[in-house]
Amino acid sequence: MRPYKFGVTEHDPSRTFQGFTLFTPSEGKETFLIDMVGQVAHKWDLATKVGNYAQLLPTGNLLVSCQTAEGPKLAAAGGRLLEMDWDGNILWEHTDHFQHHDFNRCPNGNTAYLAWELIPTEEAGYIVGGIPGSEHEDGGVYCDVVREVNPAGEIVFEWRMMDHFPFEKYPLRANRHRHEFAHANTCFVQQDGNFLLSWRDLDLIALLDRNTNELVWQMEDRKWGGQHDPRRLENGNITIFANGSEQVEAEFSRILELNPETREIVWSYQGSPVDTFFSPRVSGAQRLPNGNTVICEGRPGRLFEVTQEGDIVWEFVSPHENPRGGGMIRQIFRALRYGVDSLEISGRL
């Protein structure tokens, strides 16, 4: 549905978490930092199209992925990670043409990211499910790798899905092609250095122990409908954007806060009516210090903030469009809010 208005359409200053919101329109070459009334407070120009999104570091620098032409032809490819200062100067970069989706700066100063590796067709028999004979044109099935590199770009940790993942427990759904297994979209770095991972095509999130290389905790639910952006909260719970796609019944998105020990939903948000909030792909959610949640409804380019009671207290609809395929899109992969007094912002605006 075409929005009635672009920019900020809702703002209750007394109930919002005041700050600046960072987002990068998909297929674009610009990262925007907007204030609470939707004005651009700062902008970074990228040399090439964004890989997926950008984030601010505590130094105020921007960490962003950009696309390279040399990687495999798969959705959400990046390839070049850049750290840029406030003026757009490149301070650090790392190129891995197989990098995709997510990346994070680790507590130790290293950088972790998702990557692909090609498993040749003749060696990929243990990958269960999917459409027979639908392997990638490159000659096999792309599987995920979690890589961590130091500031010099040296790989100091690598977890290969093909070596450690329980493929027999999580087969691809019958309607999925075997181009890749199984579309990881998040590698959220924990304070202890472990990784919270998400595979969209398996409706699976899992905690990877970097010391044992084992998935020490796993949770899946087909009703999540290809989730994105699991995040560990300070209370130990996990939030996810449950996209809600490919459901037998009504399709709609939800934000869920999960207790990983009891596996119960302890808080949730959905639209009212439910079809007023739905993004079948991309998207994310971030819990804010005041208890509100800022949500990126990615496909339509809608960013909004809700209270614990589910009230919308801020909403922004992106006017930025970029070409993809045969048309224009307003998609945003992920957006993040930074407080006025946060390390990322303080003294810079």
For 315-335, give one letter per residue: b (16+ CB within 10 A) or e. Answer: bbbbebebeeeeeebbbbbbb
Amino acid making up residue 288 = L
Largest CA distance in the chain: 61
Residue for token digits 């890989």? 51
| Total length of the chain | 349
Distance between CA atoms of 206 and 217, rounded to whole angstroms?
5
The pLDDT tens digits along the chain (349 residues) read 677 799 999 999 999 999 999 999 999 999 999 999 999 999 999 999 999 999 999 999 999 999 999 999 999 999 999 999 999 999 999 999 999 999 999 999 999 999 999 999 999 999 999 999 999 999 999 999 999 999 999 999 999 999 999 999 999 999 999 999 999 999 999 999 999 999 999 999 999 999 999 999 999 999 999 999 999 999 999 999 999 999 999 999 999 999 999 999 999 999 999 999 999 999 999 999 999 999 999 999 999 999 999 999 999 999 999 999 999 999 999 999 999 999 999 999 9
CB 308 within 8 A of CB 289: no
Distance between CA atoms of 135 and 203, rounded to whole angstroms?
21
Q: What are residue 293's phi and psi, to 5 degrees? A: -130, 125
> Could you tell me the sign of the dihedral formed by the alpha carbons of 264, 269, 273, 274, in that order?
negative
User: Mapping DSSP to helix (H, G, I), strand (E, B) and coil, where does residue 60 land?
Assistant: coil
pTM of the complete model: 0.97
CB 345 within 8 A of CB 338: yes
> Could you tell me the sign of the dihedral formed by the alpha carbons of 187, 179, 297, 79, in that order?
positive
